[in-house]
Amino acid sequence: MRGQQQTASSALAAPGVAPLAVALLGYCALPWHMNQSGGVGLGGWPGAILALKGEEPWLGPIALAFVLAATPFLTRLRGTKAGAWFVAAGAFGIFWIVAQGFSIGHRGWRFEALAALFGAPGPKQAGMGLGALLTVGGLLSLAMRGLAMRGWCRGDGFVVGAIGWIVALILAFVFLPIATILLSAFHDNSGHFAPGLFFEKMTDSSIWGLGCLGGGTACGVAWNTVFLALLVGVLSTALGLAFALIATRTQFRFRGVLRLLTVLPIITPPFVIGLALILLFGRSGAVSNFLFSTFGIPPSRWIYGLPGVLIAQLLAFTPIAFLVMLSVVQGIAPSMEEAAQTLRAKPLQIFNTVTFPLMRPGIANAFLLGFVESMADFGNPLVLGGNFEVLSTKIFFAVVGAATDQGRAAVLSMVLLVFTLGGFAIQQLWVGKKVYTTVTGKGDAGLSLPLPNLVKFGAYLTAIPWGVFTFVVYAIILIGGFVKMMGRDYTPTLEHYATAFSIEGGAGGLHFTGSAWPSFFATAEVALIAAPLTAGLGLLTAWLLTRQNFAGRNAFEFMTLLSFAIPGTVVGVSYILAFNVPPIELTGTAVILVICFVFRNMPVGVRSGIAALSQIDKSLDEASLTLGARSATTLRTVMAPLLRPAMVAALVYSFVRAMTAVSAVIFLVSAEWNMATTYIVGRVDAGEHGLAIAYSSSLIVFMLAIILGIEKLVGQRKLGRRGHAPAPAAPVAAAG
Amino acid sequence: MIKRYGDVAAVDDVSFEIAPAELVTLLGPSGCGKTTTLRLIAGLEMATEGSIWIGGRDVTHLSAADRDVSMVFQSYALFPHMNVLENVSYGPRVQGATRAKAEEMAHEKLKLIGLAGLEKRAPSELSGGQQQRVAVARALVLEPEVLLFDEPLSNLDAKLRRRVREDIRELQQKLRLTVAYVTHDQEEALAVSDKIIVMSNARIAQVGTPRGLYDEPHSLFVADFIGDATIVEGEVVSLDGGMARVRLAGLEKDLPSRGLKVGPAKLAVRPHGFRIWPADPGRPAIAGRVHKASYLGKHVEYTVETPAGEFFAIDGATERVPAQGTDVWVTLNDQGVALVPA
């Protein structure tokens, strides 16, 4: 029956027809450019007509791609030879569209060389629209189909197509922006090549100055950033280790509460902790006032600067270190310690000679993560930094401040990017591989040793005060919105919530009159669109990485995980530099926000997908294949149901990250598409702390509800006696 | 066909044919390329060179989904999120059959395999043997031209293994299935096969019937791998037609010459090719000493030290077992002794 099936399907649709039809539709029937209002509506001429009318003759050669693609149909070529024509058609078409798109911009030639050759200003055109999108997409699919016909990936068209699309998307939305930043660092602000200026900006003393060592003026912003990051890395690792030891190796009564600690930072927008610190320790903060009225200590601005940012980042990143250290401590097989015990080592000796050395690579890992997270953080330094400047805030003010200097922003971004990529590279290449996992699949009936007393009390002394402090901070976040003004006037009130979330019933139904509603709805909409895209793309990538063998797979993996290490601020700057001008003109739309979220959070989907897929025996895929299911069918009928827990994790995570992100989106929001986080930051800036904290706590509660809702809705299915697949590894990213 | 990973050939110049309704076993130690060969037939790996034909059609460049081949996996690979019926009807369903038709086909195969009544169970609720049979039913449901088995018994316990292999053989003969079967267990291979392909280091060492391989191994590797054998150095002293007169350690024996010339030669002696005498038998014999003697119920296993080397022998006489260190005399039986070419 398999043979008949095949002939029937190949008669219905010869390979390559569908993508070719889509490309043709895009070229001949849909408007090539974006319309004037920046939308992708139906106004405007298709590319083919523009070329024929002579308005934009450079769109003409695209037709050659269609001639190439049609050749095998006309000459009745099949198989490998037809594939070659398809590849040639796709490659030429995409090359030409990309080349003309980057050469001809709004104001004429985009390269000085071209202007010199053909005369300035040259032809002009707007950004690409729906027609161009479909043409490129169709040609890309056609080329991939051609490669599959030439035997790539065992001739599996779906796999080749998926790889092609993911690579193209990552090139467009991760690499292109970064390349733009690098290029613009070498140009002055009017677009002329100026390498001298680059060196001048790069060696600027405001970046690398060491004045503070001599007791003089402040140090350069790069040193500030590194110094802060080192402190945060060391301290958050120490705290995380203390918490992890208490959670796994003691009978501490409130161990369960520690679990809560791991969820909080994920659903807390990054700057909210800074805000709570202001409400506690600011000049009119609750603690400051208490100290003044009781002990006569005058309130000061000490919280604004290094101490404040450090405390806020520790509060934000200690839970991440805790998650990392938890898996490290749990990964040490009890039998290791039992072996040492039978060799008559004392408890403290065992800890020093066995337990701790086994944890060491994990500690390095946690440190590097804290280091990178601190450098990438934007919200806390923005709220609490004061005169203490770090790279991420400096980049922001170089773009939006009074003295806008894009070249300077680009240079600062490069410095920050080098730092975070360096940390990421060390973590991936060196530490990541050295982590010992002594727990194997075989049962280990041993019991972990209780901690030696010295270590135990050390852990308690570190962790308990900090744990109490964390809960005070979160209590402030929750109750801060219900009083008139923290620190000054504790009269209970619902005024802040009323301002933010009032709903009035009037003519024509409900009116959402609260000031927070527009940004809330915009955020929820963007996050809800981005979440399934992120999860889908991430899991598809994970499947390709774990289940398919293809040339360049390692490079592919590196590409997909790279956006992890790019700080949000850098992403924001690079997006406005890259997508403000043709050929891809997206700034001011919701699309750019969705794209930004998808590509920033995709690595998490990839990781949880890889973790889940490595639990699923590869022979399941193969069994499905030998039963005649193609890879797309296998993915749908076998993999998707088994990947449900990973899907939930990726969905929840990308939704929450999209709701709480601030660093990248603060550059990308527009009047129409303002995000909740940027709105709150604005309120903090304006001194409306009550409103800001009320909105923040509502967001936190809303996200908790959504997380529980998604888990209930998608659910988990028990797979026989083995129970659930282990939860995917803790998502850790260069946030900010 | 040839399969290379980088410079390493996992399957090197392997070529064979499987006749319809024949069960052919790929046998060899782990890492010899037998599973890779099977996966090449299935289309789960693609051959670097060479071609694969199934039923008169060149399938070399077809993907697994397009080949009329089904496979029973070592781990069974039952879909854990589907029940037995859904697992077995999966093949027809993804081929586009209606649910009713697919389930009818599945029911038929489940009945054939003796699992009727367990349709609604999840795979995890079945015993190992039942899971294995579901895997077979699922592979059979599309009535493939070739059925592939990848070490199907390795996850079963020893007792069950014997029964299941008999079931597989019976089913294969009843339905006249064309089967390629991979195993590293020579006893299993001897029991189920019409033909055995012995592989070693990515190449075919010998192809033959179970009896042919056992009685006339082409090489020392095959002699040693199929059933135990003691390799003894000897000498061909004269040739007479197809027979050779072989002398070893004072004994003389007439054996099929198998193309050997006069001169030094190697003999493969099966454990039952030796006869152990507790006292001098009064005819030419090799004197030795018992190094080990294990009583195994129905027979005794001996390791005997002799001037010609260490002999591994079994003996059915279990009433009186010579103790370790006792002097014994060894002669050769007519069965279980063969000259090995090369």
pLDDT, tens digit, 9 for 90 and up, residues A296-311? 787 777 888 888 999 9
Task: From chain A, pick out residues whose CB is under 8 angstroms from the CB of B68.
Answer: 2-3
Residues B135 and B243 in one domain: no
Phi first, then psi: give them for residue B312, nearest 5 degrees.
-105, 120
Distance of CA A433 to the CA centre of its chain: 23
Cβ contact B42–A626 (<8 Å): yes
pLDDT recorded at residue B176:
92
- Domain assignment present for residue A505? The answer is no
A717 pLDDT higher than 50: no
Do A626 and B74 count as a contact with CB atoms less than 8 A apart? no
For residues B216 and B256, give the distance between their C-alpha atoms in angstroms, rounded to a whole number: 10
Long-range residue pairs from A37-41, CB within 8 A, at least 24 positions apart, any chain: A38/A585, A38/A588, A38/A589, A40/A129, A40/A130, A40/A133
Q: What is the pLDDT of residue A165?
A: 94
What residue numbers bound the domain in which A37 lies?
14-150
CB contact under 8 A, B142 and A2: yes
Total residue count of chain A as it appears in this document? 736
- Asked if A719 lies within 8 A of B81 by C-beta distance, the reply is yes
Report chain A residues touching chain B, CB-CB < 8 A: 1-3, 5-6, 151, 154-156, 617, 619-620, 622-631, 633, 637-638, 641-642, 717, 719-722
Quick one: DSSP state of residue A507?
T
Do the Cβ atoms of B44 and A626 come within 8 Å? yes
- Do B211 and B308 have their domain in common? no
Task: Verify that B246 and B210 share a domain, yes or no.
Answer: no
Type of residue found at B73: F
User: Which CATH number is A712's domain given?
Assistant: 1.10.3720.10
Residue A543 C-alpha, separation from nearest chain B C-alpha, in angstroms: 16
> Do the beta carbons of residue B258 and residue B339 sit within 8 Å?
yes
Q: Taking CB atoms and an 8 Å limit, are A717 and B94 in contact across chains?
A: no
- B25–chain A nearest CA distance, Å: 20
- Residue A705's CB: how many other CB atoms inside 10 A? 10
B103 Cα to chain A: minimum distance (Å): 15
Q: Let me know: does A275 contact A696? Beta carbons within 8 Å.
A: yes
CB-CB contact of A669 with A586 (8 Å): no
CB B33 within 8 A of CB B189: no
pLDDT value at A408 more than 90: no
Please check whether residues A464 and A347 belong to one and the same domain.
yes
Cβ-based neighbours of A216, under 8 Å, separated by 6 or more: none
Nearest in space to B190 (alpha carbons), one of B147, B227, B159, B228: B227
Bridging pattern class, strands B23-27 and B179-183: parallel
Listed as ranges, residues in chain B with pLDDT below 50 are: none
Q: How many CB pairs under 8 A join A and B?
A: 101
Pairing of strands B243-248, B251-256: antiparallel
* Contact residues on chain B for A626, CB-CB shorter than 8 A: 42-44, 64-65, 67, 69-71, 139, 148
Contact A619 B77 (CB under 8 A): yes
Q: Is A440 buried (19+), middle (13-18) or exposed (0-12) by CB count in 10 A?
A: exposed
pLDDT tens readout for residues A57-74: 888 899 999 999 888 888
Average of per-residue pLDDT across A96-101 = 89
Buried b (16+ CB within 10 A) or exposed e, A318-335: bbbbbbbbbebbeebbbb
Top mean-pLDDT range of A431-445, A505-519, A590-604:
A590-604
Cβ contact A720–B44 (<8 Å): no
Q: Does B123 touch chain A (CB under 8 A)?
A: yes
Are B158 and B282 in the same domain?
A: no
Which band of pLDDT confidence, cut at 50, 70 and 90, is reported for residue A533? very high
Tokens read off for A448: 């972990």
A604-613 pLDDT tens trace: 888 888 888 8
Domain identity same for B98 and B179? yes
Residue in A closest to B44 by C-alpha: A622
Q: Where are the beta strands (DSSP E) in A282-410?
A: none
The question of ipTM being above 0.85 is answered as no
The answer to whether residues A474 and A524 belong to one domain is no
Give the per-residue pLDDT at A43. 63
Residue range(s) defining the domain that contains residue B261? 228-340
Establish if B147 touches chain A: CB-CB under 8 angstroms.
Answer: no
Q: Which residue of A has its CA nearest to B76?
A: A619
- Domain boundary, last residue among B164, B196, B220: B220
Quick one: pLDDT band at residue A228, thresholds 50, 70, 90?
Answer: very high
Same domain, A466 and A521: no
- Across the interface, do A1 and B92 touch by the CB < 8 Å criterion? yes
Contacts of A555 (CB under 8 A, 6+ apart): none
- If one counts the domains in chain B, the total is 2
Q: In whole angstroms, what is the distance from residue A384 CA to residue A86 CA?
A: 57
Q: How many domains does chain A have?
A: 3
- Does residue A277 sit within a domain? yes
Among the residue ranges A149-158, A656-665, A725-734, the one predicted with the least confidence is: A725-734
Contact yes or no for B81 and A642 at CB 8 A: yes
CA separation for the pair A572, A669 (Å, rounded)? 10
Q: Which of A201-205, A317-321, A440-444 has the highest mean pLDDT?
A: A317-321
Q: What is the mean pLDDT of chain A?
A: 81
Structure tokens at A165: 């699309």
Q: Is the pLDDT of residue A40 over 80?
A: no
Task: Decide if B90 touches A, using CB distance below 8 A.
Answer: yes
| Three-class secondary structure assignment of chain B | CEEEECCEEEECCCCCCCCCCCEEEEECCCCCCHHHHHHHHHCCCCCCECCCEECCEECCCCCHHHCCEEEECCCCCCCCCCCHHHHHHHHHHHCCCCHHHHHHHHHHHHHHHCCCCCCCCCHHHCCHHHHHHHHHHHHHCCCCCEEEEECCCCCCCHHHHHHHHHHHHHHHHHHCCCEEEEECCHHHHHHHCCEEEEEECCEEEEEECHHHHHHCCCCHHHHHHCCCCEEEEEEEEEEECCEEEEEECCEEEEEECCCCCCEEEEEEECHHHEEEECCCCCCCCEEEEEEEEEECCCCEEEEEEECCEEEEEEECCCCCCCCCCCEEEEEECCCCEEEECC
A639 and A593 both lie in a single domain: yes
Distance CA A633, CA B93 (A): 11
Per the DSSP assignment, residues forming a β-bridge with A31 are: A46
Check residue A37 and give its pLDDT: 52
Contact B46 A151 (CB under 8 A): yes
Question: Using one digit for the tens of pLDDT, what is the confidence trace for A316-326?
Answer: 888 888 888 88
Q: Which of A617, A625, A721 sits opposite B65 (nearest CB)?
A: A625
Q: Does B69 touch chain A (CB under 8 A)?
A: yes
Instruction: Give the model's pLDDT for residue A257.
Output: 73
Report which DSSP code applies to A582. Answer: T
Supply the CATH number for residue B245's domain.
2.40.50.140
Region A286-293: mean pLDDT is 82
When scoring A158, A625, A626 by the number of chain B Cβ atoms within 10 A, the one with the most, hence best to mutate, is A626
Cβ neighbors of A241 (< 8 A, separation 6 or more) are: A321, A325, A359, A363, A366, A459
Place of tokens 């796999």: A159
Is a pLDDT exceeding 80 seen at residue A4?
A: no
- pLDDT at residue B147, as a whole number: 93
Residue whose C-alpha is closest to residue B324's, from B295, B286, B283, B282: B295
The verdict on A679 and A612 lying in the same domain is: yes
